[in-house]
Structure 1
């Protein structure tokens, strides 16, 4: 098994965590905060927009099963990387589209993925490639949020559920055993 880690920001971390949790080859997905200047930020502080952090996920994966390039292509598929500092109604730098590479090889792959995404979308992609910085794990209630609370949370039903259903239908053959489209 070839284990790698990557950190990605694409708006609300509940959305991207739910997608990657079901993908074969993903060992773990942890929601948290990165890219800011305040130590040990809280969700409330990050949502306020003054800490500089992005809501993000840290993904540990088996690169023999799913490649970093595949993860990046999925990342660009499941959010709108043409929106600056927002995803839909979530507005602010904390919802920016960003990649935090863990190695020079990941940085090169991230830059190549941005070029691919821009070619597919035929519009400017504003995703940034930012230096890896301190990672702060989000509060426990954010971990596996959609799995635990999605059915009862209106935001999840309006935003996360359709995105997740579309992804699972499109990539049914790539889902973990037991995850349905």
Structure 2
């Protein structure tokens, strides 16, 4: 088993984390902040849009079970990479669509994933490739949010189930059996 990590931002990190946790080969999805200027930002500071950080998820996965290209295709296919600095009602640079590669190989894979999405969807992705940048884990109450508080949160109940349905419909062979 070869564990790898990739960091992606696709709007609200609760939503991205919920999707990634259901992908085969993913062992961990950690919500956090990346891409801004302020060290150790808080959720409130990031939500202000003034730190430059994106809400993001650091995904740990077994690349023998799911390849990075397949994982990036799932990422691109389960949020709307054509919306600049927003996902649905979440508006601001903290909700941008971005990939934060950890090395040159990941950067090349990120470019290829965006190209694949553009080829299938009319070339309108605004997903950026950023970094290198420092990763800051989000506060503990944001981790595994959907499994706990999220299933009682009206926002999550409106946004996350459609994303999970899209995952199951569009990427049937990439979904964990117990998901």
- Listed as ranges, the gaps of 5+ residues in structure 1 are none
Shift of 1:171: 3.3
> Which residue number corresponds to residue 155 of structure 1?
155
SS of the residue 1:52 aligns to: coil
Shift of 1:160: 1.0
Please report the RMSD computed on the Cα atoms of aligned residues, expressed in angstroms.
1.1
SS of the residue 1:37 aligns to: coil
How many pairs align?
Answer: 179
> Which residue number corresponds to residue 28 of structure 1?
28
- Listed as ranges, the gaps of 5+ residues in structure 2 are none
> Which residue number corresponds to residue 130 of structure 2?
130
The alpha-carbon distance between structure 1 residues 144 and 80, as it changes in their structure 2 partners (threshold 3 A), is: same
TM-score by length of 1: 0.95
Shift of 1:12: 0.3
Q: Counterparts of 1:49-64 in structure 2 under 5 Å?
A: 49-64=49-64
TM-score by length of 2: 0.96
Larger deviation, residues 163-172 vs 117-126? 163-172
> Which residue number corresponds to residue 116 of structure 2?
116
1:26-49: CA deviation from partner (whole Å, max 9, x where unpaired): 011100000000010000000000
